Chain A
Amino acid sequence: MRRIQVLLCSGTACQSSGSEGVRRALLEALGLHNLLDEVQIVETGCMGPCELGPVLLVYPEGTFYVRVKPEDASEIVTEHFLKGRPVRRLLWTEGAPRPTEIPFFARQVKLVLGNCGTIDPEKVDEYIAAGGYEALGKAVTSLAPHEVIAAIRESGLRGRGGAGFPTGTKWELVRAAAGTPKYVVCNADEGDPGAFMDRAILEGDPHAIVEGMAIAAYAVGATHGYIYVRAEYPLAVQRIQTALGQARKLGLLGANIFETDFSFDVEVRIGAGAFVCGEETALIASIEGRRGEPRPRPPYPATSGLWGKPTLINNVETYANVRHILLRGPEAFAAVGTEKSKGTKVFALAGKIRNTGLVEVPMGITLRELVFDIGGGVPAGREFKAVQIGGPSGGCLPASLLDVPVDYDSLSQHGAIMGSGGVIILDDAACMVNMARFFLEFTADESCGKCVPCRVGTQMMLGILDRIVQGQGTEEDLTRLVEIGEMMKKASLCGLGQTAPNPVLSTLRYFADEYRAHIRDRSCPAGVCPNLVRYVVVADACRGCDACRRACPTGAAQGKAGKPPYRIVDDLCILCGACFDVCPFDAVKKEPR
């Protein structure tokens, strides 16, 4: 009889902070105390708070430990498992051992992530015990395909990959399309900086994707499916392969599923490092063995996709929602969220925020609740400045918009997008012009180069931004940025080019003062842009150690050893930052020019 279960997060983030070492140490300590029969260790997918990893959850009572090290294992075993006293120093917050008592968890509604961190993703039995494959069984044995589609439509589910197209409508289009065979594709080519929910779902609950795809295939009349995963996600690839093998063995994939006429199987296709392959037509080209370039739409994949056949292509998180709609009913699903954005959305919180990681919240929650209540706000000493939402082609929203509800339509109204749900929090140390330049550099790099508006537009905008951050911008540059950005939105071939100007346009809208400061005053208010800062020595902190003078390549740092303070001569300084890097007393400071 197992009296204790230890859920150990073994998602990529926790693995990288050493969860495997913790597992081995725990096993060793359990063996030492003869507890191997009483305590079970279950390796799960992502539990959410990545920065606190490795994390583990002890059941039955639900004690949540963070930042566990291998050397903590023996104390956990002797104190907690043997004597029943939680190890207080490893709790997230003193006096609140259970996730339900921690605001980070308490404010979330976990539907899609419900199994992530609570089941062993490599054991199909655990998935089935959690209600897995029940929805598929229900669909193929008791519902007609059009009834499945009707349920999806009534639920109000919209595509979680970013654009928010109504999922039921898309399924209906594929069902109605002429041509056989039809294909079902899962877009698992998540490459948005700041978003990692798709990987977490693939790693933590792979069967949910298999089940969602199988239900979709039944509904649209497909017999074959593909999961296109980034090669950068080896753990996700391995877990999904395991899941597919298990599903085949149990007859949940293959011929005559649940002893019906419905047959369906799925194969994995691995990408090779190209952000643009997240775009559906580029992804299809890549599966077909070509370079991953988008093509003009229409025709949409629904009518002419893989090998020119009708193809349903949805994102990972979208498929993960499907089984819940069939199990709980479309009304229950639609009861969560706002009028036009139903259900929950998974967000990846990153940047200058206390609690980084994955969170799932009802649509319509405000940015303030997301950033401050769940995310814990900006770490002490700094102030919230902006939230960049929707990935590299999302928008930056300022503090004044913190009460905007997070749903597809409100976000786009304010110049941001849902995107795949990446949320990056910026504090007052961030320069918004530099930040916009950065995101644009990313999309310029990742532009496939096929269409002129995107290929040339991103480069032109980048050139202008380069000039501005170097203090060589002009007023006309601002008008040019808007012109080029608007042109790209209208004329680019695919979503990459159409949304690439968003970070620039949104920062121009909300942080125009910062652009003006760079242009008119040749100054960077945040003290970030290298050409627009100066280095100064804080007299009180300088001890006259001579390190800066020795490091300075141009003789700008001047002074005499043992006779503080030193000084830095602006005219000689080339802003290399050598003095800043070497000063052992933090006496060299950067300040806006």
Chain B
Amino acid sequence: MTKEAIAAQHPRSPEALLALLHDLQLANAGHHLTEADLVLAAAHVGLPLSAVHDAATFYSMFSLRPRGRHIIRLCDSPNCHLAGAWSALDELRRLLGVDIGETTEDGAFTLELTSCLGACGVAPVMMVDDEVVGNLTPERVRETLVRYREGR
């Protein structure tokens, strides 16, 4: 679908901005927003480019830099930390060879931290794309990465 077609699914109103940015971002292989996307969004919803840029940089789920095919968001809220999120983070860093905010060389994964994912009952937790993976142990981190590398 072209970017114009994506935009056409949203009303021409400022209240459509966040949903439109989500969709545009999802349409890019790099799960990010390009300058052209922001220009398109601004024109579509009728906001100045500066306001769209403002919003795109404010919310943590939007990125102006290209990211990997899969985005790993490890919860770093106090709860998950208490339950041992740090050992999961160490394992993620080790296996991926990247630090927080970076993308693996093969472009498969981007490692990010997030605030509470609302699954504290199975802490520590990470989200890979839309999947919640709880009760994280280094083994579970390894299994999950292998599963995603093999295309689920």
Contact = CB atoms under 8 A, between A and B. Distances in A.
B22 A13 contact: no
Contacts of B133: 16
B79 A13 contact: no
Contacts of B51: 289-290
B143 to A, nearest CB: 12
B6 interface: no
B18 A16 contact: no
A269 B59 CA distance: 14
B118 A17 contact: no
Interface string B113-150: 01111111111010100111111000000000000000
A231 B22 contact: yes
Nearest to B51: A290
Interface stretch (A72-80, A93-101, A192-200): A192-200
Given A194-B116, A424-B78, A288 B14 contact: yes
Interface string B70-96: 000100011111110000000000000
A115 B140 CA distance: 32
A13 B121 contact: yes
A273 B61 contact: yes
B21 A272 contact: yes
Given A16-B125, A442-B115, A445-B115, A273 B59 contact: yes
Given A350-B123, A430-B82, A290 B55 contact: yes
A247 B22 CA distance: 26
B121 A348 contact: yes
Interface string A348-359: 111110001110
A288 B122 contact: no
A275 B19 CA distance: 18
A51 interface: yes
A233 B118 contact: yes
Contact of A193 (B61, B62, B79, B130): B79
Nearest to B87: A581
Given A392-B78, A438-B81, A50 B61 contact: no
Interface residues of A, number: 59
A190 interface: yes
Contact of B132 (A16, A286, A290): A16
Given A193-B77, A288-B15, A289-B55, A232 B118 contact: yes
B77 to A, nearest CB: 3
A123 interface: no
Given A194-B77, A274-B58, A274-B60, A199 B121 contact: no
A289 B14 CA distance: 5
A411 to B, nearest CB: 19
Nearest to A350: B120
A192 B60 CA distance: 16
A92 B18 CA distance: 44
Contact of B59 (A51, A274, A388): A274
Contacts, number: 152
Given A289-B55, A442-B115, A53 B122 contact: yes
Interface in A434-489: 435, 438-439, 442, 445-446, 448
Given A15-B132, A274-B59, A269 B78 contact: no
Contacts of A273: 59-62, 114-115
A191 B21 contact: no
B122 A446 contact: no
B116 A193 contact: yes
A200 to B, nearest CB: 9
B27 interface: no
B49 interface: no
A330 interface: no
Nearest to A438: B78
Contacts of A10: none
A272 B119 contact: no
Contacts of B80: 193
A471 to B, nearest CB: 21
Given A193-B115, A234-B130, A292-B58, A51 B79 contact: no
Contacts of A392: 77-78
B120 A16 contact: no
A357 B19 contact: no
Interface string A386-422: 0010001000000000000000000000000000001
A190 B16 CA distance: 21
B27 to A, nearest CB: 16
Smallest CB-CB A-B distances: 5 pairs? A50-B121, A193-B77, A289-B17, A272-B59, A289-B14
6 contacts: A50-B119, A270-B22, A273-B60, A291-B58, A430-B82, A438-B78
